[in-house]
Amino acid sequence: MSAVQESPVATQQRLKGVFSPVLTPFNADYSPDPDRFAKHCRWLVDQDVGLAVFGTNSEANSLGVAEKRRLLESLLKAGLPAARMMPGTGTCAISETIELTRAAVQAGCGGVLMLPPFYYKGVSDEGLYRAFASVIDAVADSRLRIYLYHIPPVSQVGITRGLVARLLKAYPGTIAGMKDSSGDWSNTSAMLSEFAAQGFDVFCGSESFLLATMRGGGAGCITATGNVNPAAIVNLYKTWKQDGAEDRQKGLDATRGVFAKFNMIAAMKSAIAWKSGREEWKTVRPPLVELNAEQRSALQAALDDVGFEMPNAGKLA
């Protein structure tokens, strides 16, 4: 059953499938490298992975607004498809969220992934409603499709079902769905059962829940390890109704489990440095720290144990 086909707001351009919060490559001086960024995006798109650039695993909040705008422009210049992009545009300040969201819409991005303002803790749903509403009203563009970004383990400010219901009622054509990175299946399941029938596209925030999300009527997943294990994740997305899906899910879980033993961002960047031969890939911006030599050896050994491969990783160098 596809809930979306019944929705008044669904269009053929709706974003579906596997997305990756694209890792942002830095030079040794912490400046972003637009060339490797475009190469990585191309490698992902070629494997049918959509581009959730500027997500948590992109170190997006470690980038300034001007840096994000320049990086987005560099991807467009490199010919990457805006329709397959869901850039993160949510910041602490509605003024900057408006600026980034407007830029994404004007670039033709298929959607935006929007964090709530996350500096103040314990804020009310009324305050969060006003934040999202202010952005939507200011951008004032019917092309805008917002995916609400629920990641309380990091942002500490979550998006409740009450808030989703109120936003969907007020902005039915604009509130397009959610990325649920709570890590709590009961929350994802509740979002699916309450809102999927209204055309609200739920993406799980980790491929660990991909099979369950698809069975529950979801739209796909937006997952960190899409950066390094894209083919296998896309394969499960495309074959979730076929025999052996549970085994394919277990395979994904094994690979993810290796990365999850470390800081995921630093571990994925180390893996790309290893497989591509381009050492700068290991660089993360402070306050994150790259894997040390011992951690890196342990990561590589554990990845070898699960048969991890990155075909064509040389293209990322």
Instruction: Point out which residues bind a copy of itself (CB under 8 A).
Output: 30, 56, 61-67, 91-96, 99, 116-121, 123-124, 126-128, 130-131, 134, 153-157, 285-289
Nearer Cβ to a copy of itself, position 119 or 140?
119
- Least distance to a copy of itself, CB of residue 8, Å: 28
d(CA 96, CA 159): 20
In contact, 149 and 163? CB cutoff 8 Å: no
- Least distance to a copy of itself, CB of residue 26, Å: 11
Nearer Cβ to a copy of itself, position 233 or 266?
266
Residue with tokens 């103040």: 120
Nearer Cβ to a copy of itself, position 61 or 225?
61
Nearer Cβ to a copy of itself, position 92 or 306?
92
Q: CB-side exposure of 177: number of CA atoms within 13 Å?
A: 34
Nearer Cβ to a copy of itself, position 236 or 264?
264
- Least distance to a copy of itself, CB of residue 20, Å: 19
As given in the structure block, the two tokens for residue 276 are: 């591509």
User: Peptide bond preceding 287: is omega within 30 degrees of 0, i.e. cis?
Assistant: yes
- Least distance to a copy of itself, CB of residue 163, Å: 11
Nearer Cβ to a copy of itself, position 49 or 284?
284
Residue with tokens 């314990």: 122
Nearer Cβ to a copy of itself, position 119 or 301?
119
Residues 6+ apart with CB under 8 A from 77: none
Nearer Cβ to a copy of itself, position 99 or 207?
99
- Least distance to a copy of itself, CB of residue 186, Å: 22
Residue with tokens 């950066």: 227
On the 0-12 / 13-18 / 19+ scale of CB atoms within 10 A, 192 is buried
- Least distance to a copy of itself, CB of residue 156, Å: 6
Nearer Cβ to a copy of itself, position 181 or 198?
181
- Least distance to a copy of itself, CB of residue 152, Å: 11
In contact, 90 and 54? CB cutoff 8 Å: no
- Least distance to a copy of itself, CB of residue 89, Å: 13
- Least distance to a copy of itself, CB of residue 314, Å: 30
Residue 173 CA from chain centroid, whole number: 21
CB neighbour burial string for 83-110, b if at least 16 within 10 angstroms, e if fewer = ebbbbbbbbbebebbbbbbbbbbeeebb
Residues 6+ apart with CB under 8 A from 248: 211, 232, 235, 236, 239
Residues 6+ apart with CB under 8 A from 12: none
CB neighbour burial string for 302-317, b if at least 16 within 10 angstroms, e if fewer = bbeeeebebeebeebe
